[in-house]
């Protein structure tokens, strides 16, 4: 197991950790990654995965060994990627020896004892049973372990909980954990980048609020006018006027760069590249959604894709052949995610999709 500490030069300052939402949550990480995380040099007990500061984790796995002491249980939990030691403290109910005697009729004492017994059965697990545990990560005697804040046995006869877990965790990795923690540039430090970010957000909000399906650059040009005006006023207040691009040229350049960012993110795309610049909004393009769904439905019937489904690169190639050469991978991934959320398709792995 890797127990090295984080390189101080790479570790983000501790005062900024709170800006990462992962720091305040119980991260649903694989046991393998929990065992390999690097410990902070600034604050012992804090670990890093892709520069995300991790304090608490949430794990679902099978008990593969157990030890019991007077004050705690020690469970070995296997989630399929590794085994981690989990220290689960007993509460007062687990230390009591309840009386099983019950009288006829309704006996509050007996009913209370039944509730206590039910709670004991949820906290006392045997090898092979499913355990859900949340709590901070600790390193004790060179071994990584979880100190349980909450733990309980999971009754999962038809594996519904485990299947839901296997669907959710890879998505969390894609959307959050595998993207390194990065701070947004401060406006005063990088005004050009800040202006592009503001312009991109203005256009994105406009498309979302107005439910726009397609647009041309001049449709959103006026929305960015206040950014150029405020930037020009700030520049004129700080320094003497010098020759440079006009406000109109700045506005068009800002719009061009903002649209390029939206294309790179897959939010918009140009179905046909011509002098008449028409941008299609990916999330509202019903024809694109229908084309992607039809391709997956038809090609999943072929013997080559019957078992695992269609690979995302195959879907992208088919979409470009049958619908538009200009659909980007980022735009396709947005469509696939939306179709999966609507249960129109299902992902059989990180990059393969099929229909129900």
Query: What average pLDDT score do residues 100-106 get?
Result: 51
Q: Domain coordinates of the chain in residue numbers? A: 14-177, 191-282, 286-354
pLDDT tens digits along 199-215 = 899 999 999 888 999 99
Q: For domain 14-177, give the CATH superfamily.
A: Nucleic acid-binding proteins (2.40.50.140)
pLDDT at 92: 60
Tell me: pLDDT of 310 over 80: yes
Q: Which residue has the higher pLDDT, 114 or 179?
A: 179
Could you tell me the pLDDT band of residue 194, with boundaries at 50, 70 and 90?
confident
pLDDT at 13: 82
Whether 14-177 shares its CATH topology with 191-282 is answered no
Where is average pLDDT lowest: 16-30, 91-105, 155-169, 203-217? 91-105
Could you tell me the pLDDT band of residue 14, with boundaries at 50, 70 and 90?
confident
pLDDT tens digits along 291-307 = 999 999 999 888 888 88
3-state SS of the chain?
CCCCECCCCCCCCHHHHHHCHHHHCEECCCHHHHHHCEECCCCCCCEEECCEEECEEEEEEEEEEEEECCCEEEEEEECCCCEEEEEEECCHHHHCCCCCCCCCCCCHHHHHHHHHHHHHHHHCCCCCCEEEEEEEEEEECCEEEEECCEEEEECCCCCHHHHHHHHHHHHHHHHHHCCCCCCCCCCCCCHHHHHHHHHHHHHHHHHHHHCCCEECHHHHHHHHHHHHHHHHHHHHHHCCCCCCCCHHHHHHHHHHHHHHHHHHHCCEECCCCCCCCCEEEHHHCHHHHHHHHHHHHHHCCCHHHCCCCEEHHHHHHHHHHHCCCCCCHHHHHHHHHHHHHCCCCEECCCCEEECC
pLDDT at 270: 92
- Domain spanning 286-354 has what CATH number? 1.10.10.10
pTM for the model: 0.49
Rounded to an integer, what distance in angstroms lies between the CA atom of residue 228 and that of residue 231? 5
Other CB atoms within 10 Å distance of the CB of residue 106: 7
- Say which CATH architecture domain 191-282 belongs to: Orthogonal Bundle (1.10)
pLDDT at 12: 82
pLDDT tens digits along 220-275 = 988 888 887 755 554 444 444 444 457 788 888 889 999 999 999 999 999 998 88
């Amino acid at each position: 197991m890797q127990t090295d500490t984080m390189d101080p030069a790479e570790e983000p300052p501790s005062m900024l950790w709170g800006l990462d939402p992962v720091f305040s949550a119980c991260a649903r990480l694989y046991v393998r990654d929990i065992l390999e995380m690097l410990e902070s040099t600034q604050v012992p007990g804090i670990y890093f995965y892709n520069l995300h500061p991790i304090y608490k984790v949430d794990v679902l796995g099978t008990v593969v060994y157990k030890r019991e002491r007077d004050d705690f249980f020690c469970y070995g939990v296997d989630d399929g990627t590794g085994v981690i030691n989990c220290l689960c403290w007993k509460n007062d109910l687990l230390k009591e020896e309840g009386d099983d005697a019950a009288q006829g009729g309704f006996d509050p004492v007996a009913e209370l004892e039944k509730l206590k017994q039910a709670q004991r059965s949820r906290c006392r697990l045997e090898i092979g049973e499913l355990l859900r545990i949340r709590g901070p990560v600790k390193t004790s005697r060179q071994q990584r372990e979880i100190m349980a804040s909450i733990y309980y046995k999971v009754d999962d006869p038809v594996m519904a909980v485990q299947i839901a877990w296997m669907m959710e965790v890879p998505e969390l990795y894609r959307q959050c954990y595998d993207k390194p923690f990065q701070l947004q540039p401060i406006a005063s430090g990088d005004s050009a980048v800040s202006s592009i970010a503001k312009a991109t957000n203005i256009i994105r909000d406009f498309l979302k609020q107005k439910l726009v399906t397609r647009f041309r650059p001049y449709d959103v040009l006026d929305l960015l006018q206040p950014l150029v005006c405020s930037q020009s006023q700030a520049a004129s207040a700080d320094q003497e006027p010098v020759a440079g691009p006009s406000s109109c040229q700045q506005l068009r350049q800002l719009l061009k760069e903002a649209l390029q960012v939206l294309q790179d993110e897959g939010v918009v795309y140009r179905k046909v590249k011509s002098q008449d610049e028409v941008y299609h909004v990916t999330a509202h393009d019903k024809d694109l959604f229908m084309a992607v769904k039809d391709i997956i439905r038809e090609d999943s019937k072929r013997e080559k894709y019957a078992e695992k489904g269609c690979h995302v690169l195959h879907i992208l190639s088919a979409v470009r052949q049958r619908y538009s050469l200009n659909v980007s991978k980022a735009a396709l991934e947005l469509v696939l995610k939306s179709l999966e959320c609507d249960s129109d398709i299902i992902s059989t792995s990180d990059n393969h999709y099929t229909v129900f």
